[in-house]
Amino acid sequence: MSVAGKRVLPGFNITMGYTLVYLSLLVLIPLSAVFFKTATLGFDEFWAVISSPRVVASYKLSFGASLLAAGVNAVFGLLLAWTLVRYSFPGKGLVDSLIDLPFALPTAVAGIALTAIYSQNGWIGSIIEPHGIKVAFTPNGVLVALIFIGLPFVVRTVQPILQDLERELEEASASLGANRLQTFRFVIFPALFPALLTGFALAFARAVGEYGSVIFIAGNMPMVSEITPLMIITKLEQYDYAGATSIALVMLLVSFALLLVINGLQAWTSKRTGRDR
């Protein structure tokens, strides 16, 4: 933006230079190192690392559990956001604050707490395990941890859209003879869908790379409950840096793809909002 041919904010060259240096040191150089280190392997060696049965099993668990957790959060995150926006009840402020707990809580603490609750002697585990439902030290535990850390992304993405949604649209729908389900399906949900999809993508992206809260409750049994970040750590502990970066490269490419999708969804949401206005 400029006024009379001059920039409103002075020091553009300095701030832009600082931005480029900052991004290079913290993002571009570390990410490029992943590519360069992986390039020291031949294609056959690279393929052998990323396609080994143990690594493939970790892909299936990490991506599968992340996708399922994001889907669960999309459903229940929408219900929670709806409750917080549309209803008043005692303790509403406390509930709203607790939504952000996974952001503030160290992931290792979250993992230990979930393990203590869902273990055989835990509050919940002691109730459900006699019925054949085992959570701690199984893939189910991974799913629970990923749901825990991903919920705020959906709630905080959908919540402001609900707050800005005009009640007059619902009243007009009701006056035309639509019932509540029809009003939600044809009036409310289309307006929420872009934000809900964005929250789903953010929760999925966050869950794919999660390590701290999962490592304690997963059990880390080979071919059963090992997540992909753990495979990277295992390679590093074996001083197999090229192998670790090979697995990390696969995760990185998926993250880039998700980032493109999220940016596209955000642009779509902005364009849709502007058109509706």
Asked if residue 202 has pLDDT above 50, the reply is yes
pLDDT (average), residues 189-196: 84
Q: What is the pLDDT of residues 94-147, one digit of tens each?
A: 999 999 989 888 888 999 999 999 998 889 998 998 888 999 999 999 999 999
Q: What is the pLDDT of residues 15-53, one digit of tens each?
A: 888 888 888 888 888 888 888 889 888 889 999 999 999
Per the CB < 8 A criterion, the answer to whether 205 and 259 are in contact is yes
pLDDT of residue 14: 81
Residues 51, 57: Cα–Cα separation, whole Å? 9
Nearest residue to 178 (alpha-carbon basis) of 186, 167, 189 = 186
pLDDT of residue 118: 93
Q: 3-state SS string over 92-154?
A: HHHHHHHCCHHHHCCHHHHHHHHHHHHCCCCCCHHHHHHHCCCCCCCHHHHHHHHHHHHHHHH
Task: Give the pTM.
Answer: 0.84
* Residue 111, amino acid: G
Residues 63, 87: Cα–Cα separation, whole Å? 35
pLDDT of residue 1: 47
pLDDT of residue 209: 85
pLDDT (average), residues 237-263: 86
